[in-house]
Structure 1
């Protein structure tokens, strides 16, 4: 599963603003509010890539493991290009579930 979100906006921090604070071993809990089921993923790495050099296959490709990759922008913002210079990716793997 891949989830993406903005790091910020013209008015301030956005949903993935604190993504850069995650560290290997941290838990990411994904909850289904309708069924009250949760999946727990463990962060394996947090990596920044130049936008043009992001490993597309590693981020979005198939895997034989249950994984979660979170992606947002990071680095300096270019007003000319209207984008940040890098992509921040959190790579996580399913650890278990609590229900």
Structure 2
């Protein structure tokens, strides 16, 4: 997930299964939030669409808290099957 920060709006994320099925998701936005500010319903809530949100850590690492200061969220929407 280290390279997720390089994604930008319009990029494709392709998920492949062991059987060869592929799903293509289009990046709609890349946003960073502090844990307290993260829009939980937007990230984890139900939608009428097929979406995949990727989550990783970003920002400075606090040795005291043992965590990064922000969460990087990649919001994607299913484009189609290959």
Q: 1:65 aligns with which of 41, 49, 61?
A: 49
Paired positions, count = 82
Residue pairs, 1:31-42, within 5 angstroms: 31-33=16-18, 35-42=19-26
Choose the corresponding residue for 1:28, options 13, 25, 35.
Answer: 13
TM-score (norm 2): 0.97
Q: Deviations over 1:54-79 (max 9, x none)?
A: 11111111000000100000001000
- Aligned equivalent of 1:55, options 25, 34, 39: 39
Segments of structure 1 that go 5 or more residues without pairing to the other structure are 1-15
Question: 1:52: Cα distance to partner?
Answer: 1.2
SS at match of 1:52: coil
Unaligned runs of 5+ in 2: none
Aligned to 1:90: 74
TM-score (norm 1): 0.81
SS in 1 for 2:48: coil
